[in-house]
Amino acid sequence: MSRFVRNACESCHCPSFSYISRSGHCACRACRTKFYRACPGFADDSSQQVKTVRVGWLVNNEGFQNGTPGERLSGWGYEYLQTLSYYTPGWRYEYVSGTFTELMDMLETGEIDLMPNISYSEERAQKLLFSSNPEGTERYYIYAKPDRDDLTKGDPQALQGLTIGYNPDVMQTFVGQQWLANEGITCTYREYDGGSMLFDALANDEVDAVIMNDTISSPDASPMFYVGSSDYYFAVPKSRPDLMDDINAAMSAIARVNPRYIDEVKSNYSAQNSGSSSLNGPERSWLKANDNTITLGYITGKLPYCNEDEDGKMEGSLASLATTLHDKFGITVKTVAFDNYKMMSKALSKGSIDVALPVYRDYWFAEQSGVVQSISLGTTTLTAIHTGSNLNKDLQNIACTKSSFINRNVLESLFPTATVTECQSDDEAFDALRKGTVHCILAPSSRVKTIGDRYDLENCETAELPDTCELSCWISRGRPELLGIINKGIINAGESLSASNYSSTSYTAQESNTLQFLYRNRAAVAAALIGVLSVGIVLLIWALVRARTERKKADAANAAKTAFLTRMSHDIRTPLNGILGLIEIEELKEGDIQVARESRAKARVAANHLLSLINDILEMGKIEDRKLTLEHTPFNLKELCDDTLVLCKLRASSNGITMQDNSLPYATGPYMIGSPTHIRQIMINLLDNSIKYNKHGGSVTFSSKTKPLDNGRALFCFSVSDTGIGMTPKFLKHIYEPFAQEGDDARSKFQGTGMGMPIVKSLIELMGGTIEISSEVGVGSTFNVQIPLDIDKDPQARERADEQADSCSLAGMNVLLAEDNELNAEIAQALLESEGIVVTRAADGNEVVDLYVGRPAGSFDAILMDIMMPGMDGYEATRAIRLSEKVDAADIPIIALTANAFAEDAKAAHDAGMNAHLSKPLDFNKLKNILARIKKNGSVSL
């Protein structure tokens, strides 16, 4: 704590041993001076006798005495010493630093003159003088880290066997150890010098708990057990009764001015750093149960307190609460802006928000509203903006708005005899003030400048009232953990919540000055505006002319859109008409099994065509957005071509057109790997065009072949030739443009959609292929296409697997079906039950997860999952199942059964954890094949 040097003191040159304090000052009487006496502005006043008092300065005692002598000092103990000196006859302090034990020894020997915060004991009273009245009362606690949930239940036995830190020779250690002994607690004790060192040891896990008083605190410590208390006093050596007389007189003077002074100054330093500012176990559990998220609702347009900025984010002094909750506790804070308190209160009651702010802090209002209120966000004075010369009279006719926390209820409470008019907005309120309908508006003093920048207050008087109001947050009742979190956020935010600390009010200083300049020079500004308006009128006329031209273009585009929708309606109705007609034929030929079978087959073909047409529309959008994904799946090329020709022959025969297939045997075999859906789409579009733009009695010829390429690939070559109306060379240049159509009447009557060829060209190029067209008007057209494909090297294995699956009985399987559409669910259930499958239905994603998790592992062989369901969709439900703790969570087959039919939808299903993807309308044969493979092999993959 101190050191002795043999050299002479440089200040007074006293010889031999000189005592030097840790502050670096000589302690001999010849040069005992206050360290900052040399500072400018602190010269001695020779007319007043100065009494230098050597006061002990505790090291490692943050909060009580902060800093090192010779530097900037603070702390509630320091502030009390300074206030004490104000009421003494010319005291000046010299600070001598050391540990508590060192300083007490020096006090007893008279090396220092004063020690604050000393507990009284008979032994000490034999050596020291104590102040007549206590300086205050200190309470003693056993502190631990806030996350020690085992110590929060109030059972002292939880302390058994712990390592507890303490300071030597202090009252709290004696009281704490005695309390532990009385409770029968056996502990390991570890000694530290100073309170700060104790809390550092706790933070570094050197000890499990510490015995400490409440005069200093730490954010890493929370009081767990109260062990006792005692009063503390100022103490001086027995040889200095003169100092004690000064102290007793000064303490009496301070008490007369403010009896609660010591409590107030102590709270300024203790609250922000106390253990109460850290989250406890229940509060952390609440956050975990609520996704670590809190939603704050606030009133916008109330700077400097709060406002919604241009990016939709909260700004203002109260935004620091959200920042503190995030930075201090890692909480995700969402903010929601409201225009008035009624909307915000409704959102709070419904649970749309967790916290509402700022609100007038009043226990009665909170109780009547069915909420609880936080600790204070801050205090503001009120300023009256009024029009008359008599303030008291003007305060009898007040306006307020629905968006102000100084609302009708608050004003009627503060001014019970006043007439209060509630306006919809600030504009309406100040308009009423200007017209004389009301005589006064009350606003927080911190908002007056903002209001003055926005409204002309030249003819108004402003007067700050003695009334003050506190702001707080509202929280729904029954959420004590959330209340604790918010209160601790407010404690940690501290002064940053103050409106005076928010620099960027609704206008910056520059903007405010600019507005004042504009107001003072309003005549010149008006003239300038007239000039600008004149130029604007000229520009407006020019813009109107241009807009008329653009309008004509837009009308043309709308006409094109109308024509497209008309053509689309025609193309959709064509297969739909075929389906309805085939149903009527089957009804007319009731009982004829052959006719029924043929009608169903043709209806299926027409339905597939309708589905293909719908896919065309969607595909075009995906191509334009560059979001199209190609497949890479095995398929039989010959079967694909045959199925496509069957579909198109039905259309051709109804139009009186003959179709021929001149395909050659495939040199590479028919088994390929590629994107069969898109190849079929290309062929259908080309064949449909050749049929649609043909003559009655004409013909369409299809031919195809394959050529081997290197690296196990093949080139699929096919052509479509027709004897149709043909195309002009001019139109051929635009054939791949969306909605392009030959302009002459002969072609227009065929009503094409104009999407087919752009889709064909885009798909072929995506697959690395080419297309060539030759055409002659009145003769016909020929389309030659080449598409490279991968050769399937082991098609037999795939066919064997399919054959084995076909022969496998599905009876006895248990399937969980997730489908929100009742009709679709009934159809799927009927088809599945026809195969002997036991079906359990769920109407949405939440229900399917609950059913799966609630049954034992192995209860279901597979899950059929719709994607678009209310609440939790299929993707989310799949992820939830995969992340569950059930034994079969990672392995149970999940099959997407959805109207999302494209390759990218299959990829999304795979990414979510699904094993297979089937599109609607449901192909039950494909579903049976997948279920058979699951039953036989236990798995299936996309």
Q: Which residue has the higher pLDDT, 400 or 598?
A: 400
Both tokens of residue 502?
């928010």
Range with lowest mean pLDDT among 30-44, 174-188, 613-627, 781-795: 30-44
The pLDDT tens digits for 784-840 are 999 999 999 887 766 665 555 566 788 999 999 999 989 889 989 999 999 999 999
Phi, psi (rounded to 5 degrees) for 133:
-110, 150
Q: Which residue has the higher pLDDT, 614 or 823?
A: 823
- CA 677 – CA 657 distance, rounded (Å): 26
pLDDT over threshold 50, residue 505: no
The pLDDT tens digits for 80-112 are 999 999 888 889 999 999 988 899 999 999 999
Q: Name the percent of the chain lying above pLDDT 70.
A: 83
The pLDDT tens digits for 56-84 are 998 767 777 888 888 888 888 899 999 99
The answer to whether 456 touches 292, Cβ cutoff 8 Å, is no
Where do the CATH 3.40.50.2300 domains begin and end in the chain?
795-937
The pLDDT tens digits for 464-486 are 888 778 899 999 999 999 998 99
pLDDT given for residue 771 in this prediction: 95
pLDDT category at 11 given cuts 50, 70, 90 is very low
Instruction: Just give the CATH number of 593-791.
Output: 3.30.565.10
Q: Which helix (H) or strand (E) holds 180?
A: helix 171-182
pLDDT category at 565 given cuts 50, 70, 90 is low
For domain 3-130, say whether CATH 2.30.30 is its number. Answer: no
The DSSP bridge partners found for residue 897 are: 918
Where do the CATH 3.40.190.10 domains begin and end in the chain?
137-230+268-277, 281-514
Report the CATH fold assignment for 137-230+268-277: D-Maltodextrin-Binding Protein; domain 2 (3.40.190)
> Class for domain 281-514, per CATH?
alpha beta
Task: Please name the residue ranges forming H helices in 415-476.
Answer: 426-435, 448-454
- CA 342 – CA 475 distance, rounded (Å): 15
> Class for domain 795-937, per CATH?
alpha beta
Where do the CATH 3.30.565.10 domains begin and end in the chain?
593-791
Nearest residue to 356 (alpha-carbon basis) of 367, 341, 368, 369: 341
How far lies 320's CA from each of 309, 310, 492, 892, in Å?
15, 18, 10, 48
- CA 267 – CA 851 distance, rounded (Å): 55
**What mean pLDDT comes out for the span 185-205?**
90
The answer to whether 818 touches 865, Cβ cutoff 8 Å, is yes
Mean pLDDT across the chain: 83
Task: Label each residue of 889-901 as H, E or C.
Answer: CCCCCEEEEECCC
Half-sphere CA count of 634, side-chain side, radius 13 A: 13
**What mean pLDDT comes out for the span 202-210?**
94
Nearest residue to 751 (alpha-carbon basis) of 690, 687, 692: 692
Q: Which residue has the higher pLDDT, 311 or 60?
A: 311
pLDDT given for residue 234 in this prediction: 96
Give the dihedral of Cα atoms 839, 842, 847, 852; nearest 10 deg: 20
**What mean pLDDT comes out for the span 232-239?**
95
